[in-house]
Amino acid sequence: MRRALLALLALIIAGALAFYLLTMPATVPASALPAHTPDLANGKYMFTVGGCAECHAVPLKKCDDLKTKEKDVLAGGRCLKTPFGVFHVPNISPTRRPALATGPPSTL
């Protein structure tokens, strides 16, 4: 019985190790990525369909105000009331400036 439990434990450890090694993410340098020209029309479409501005746009006055200053400025500041408390929506820009994608696509 003890030998069977040790074999089962070894099999579980081997399976967990194999799972970890097979699912470990690989880092790809930016130089290995193909050249890419952004499709701005598609980006605007994805922005609109995704509803990014609904949560991440700066509210007009208070954090729970439904009106926004500018729909294109995703600097955060809106607050969402949940059963777990108030969630303050963050700035999703890669910099402190309130503008999305000011750098190369690899910075996102």
pLDDT digits (tens, 9 = 90+) for 21-75: 999 988 888 888 898 888 889 988 988 898 888 888 888 888 777 777 777 777 7
pTM above 0.85, yes or no: no
d(CA 43, CA 101): 11
In a domain, 80, yes or no: yes
12 CB-contact burial (10 Å; exposed 0-12 / middle 13-18 / buried 19+): exposed
> Residue 76 sits in which domain range?
52-99
Count how many domains the chain has. 1
- According to DSSP, the residues that pair with 86 across neighbouring strands are 81
Which residue type, as a one-letter code, is found at position 101? A
In a domain, 79, yes or no: yes
Please say whether the beta carbons of 55 and 82 come within 8 A: no
